[in-house]
Structure 1
């Protein structure tokens, strides 16, 4: 398959390398000239004997997508409008890797577009950190909507990404954005709030250990990236943040009880059991029809797609009755 990857940071660079390693004809592009040169240099080092280069690097978006069947937008949400001019008239299938799906769907309205988001990454960033095995076993969201008439494009991408080793999760854009606010965007804001406790507090900085480290790790992410993903998902982030604030205030009220230890113990029991039950174990394999509603039902149950077969989809549903005791 002929595929273009626009943006060669950690995710885009890893995808470029993974696709090439699986035999696809891949062209990459990045707005930074130094990144393009680094990708070209590595391609020559990793060149396949029968083709000379492992991938090609273009000097513009339009050059990168020319003649390709699929274009992957691996740039931050604020950069997508600037990429669209190079996609004018592009007849192929477009997907992306951003952490917010509703706003990207609105920007790509009228195109052959399937929103995507691989839940993969590491603390290092940029093309030098790219890893062709980054997506092994990762959850890769691919969006569907109940009124989609035909899941053919979705199935094309699901087949492509499951063959890279990913677990493809079918959800709507709104369901994705709500879940991301819960498990990524608000946790970044909470980590930032906890990190702010270090200001003017050298004693706390000396005593801080494991719980502080684990609870604040993502606060070290570049502020521009945190702002882009939270700001791009502002409605869902506000709703989830309000719920978390309410929970924290509830703990505060429990601390006012005559017996705060007993009150807190009761309030902490359910969250403790939920965390000890995560992540869920995979359940028995399932096979579902290649239809929109059946795929969405699988994703809503926490399941994922492991392979695309003729007329059916192979997947797994997680166990829901893990004993946490």
Structure 2
């Protein structure tokens, strides 16, 4: 497949390298000339050449010329400018953006399947790119019952599973609510916790595992956190309100006559939930290549593992959901 990757940061750069390693012809472009030069230099090294090669070009039109698939790997605010340079391009377009609703609106009327690999980390830029980044990761491919071409969706699902990802079919709205819960609000919580370090050298010296784990993603570039939270503002506000309400309950328990007993009882349910995560996969199942069946799989927490030549999809469901149809 001929693939153009627009944006070669952590995700775009990793995808560029992974696609090349799997034998695809890949052209990459990034607005930053230093990123282009770093990608071009790495492609020339002998160690990389044996694992796949990519071409780095100097413009978006040059990158997408003849491409079967264009991947938008730029922040949400940059997408309109990229799309302006894709006018008339007939190929399939996907993205790797952490909020899908606004991207779906921007791509209305185009051959588009929204995508979001849940494979980020706190480091960023092409030099942090890893061709194995997608091994075992959950990769959302949005499937709108009345707005997504199923053949395009299956083509992308085949490609993503070949890169080692677990493809999760959901709608853009379902994706945006879920990532607000498990990614966007946690970034804001990590930022709030990190603020205790300001003018507090003692806290910085004593901070250990719980602080490190709770604040890890606060090290992400502020522009990236702002883009994903601001782009998903409605869902983030709703989820954040629920978290603030929970924290207020903890504050009230601390004012109880016996705060230890009150907190112990309040903490049992979240403790059980966290110790049961991640869910164990159940037995492998087959899923029909049909939107409602695929969406039912995604809503149950399941994922596609392979698109088979006979038209069926190999899939897995969480162990608690084995009897769900």
> What is the alpha-carbon root mean square deviation over aligned residues?
1.7
Give how far 1:149 is off: 6.2
TM-score normalized by structure 1?
0.95
* CA shift in 2, pair 1:27/1:233, >3 Å: same
- List alignment gaps of at least 5 residues for structure 1: none
Partner residue, 2:316: 316
* Equivalences for residues 1-325 of structure 1 within 5 A: 1-46=1-46, 54-148=53-147, 150-309=149-308, 310-320=310-320
Contact 1:7–1:31 (CA under 8 A) maintained in structure 2: yes
Task: Answer with 23-32 or 239-248: which moved more.
Answer: 23-32
3-state SS, counterpart of residue 87 of structure 1: coil
Distance 2:29 2:93 in 1: 15
How far did residue 54 of structure 1 move?
Answer: 1.2
Per-residue CA shift, 1:93-112, capped at 9, x if unaligned? 00000100001111111111
Q: Distance in 2 between matches of 1:86 and 1:316?
A: 39
Runs of 5+ consecutive residues of structure 2 not aligned to the other structure: none
Contact map agreement 2:42 2:48 (CA 8 A) in 1: no
Q: CA deviation at 1:253?
A: 1.4
SS of structure 1 residue aligned to 2:320: coil
The alignment partner of 1:320 has SS state of helix
Distance 2:312 2:100 in 1: 26
1:50-74 CA deviation, whole Å, 9 max, x = no partner?
9xx8111121111100111100001
Structure 1 CA distance for aligned equivalents of residues 24 and 48 of structure 2: 12
In structure 1, what is the Cα distance between the partners aligned to 2:46 and 2:95?
26
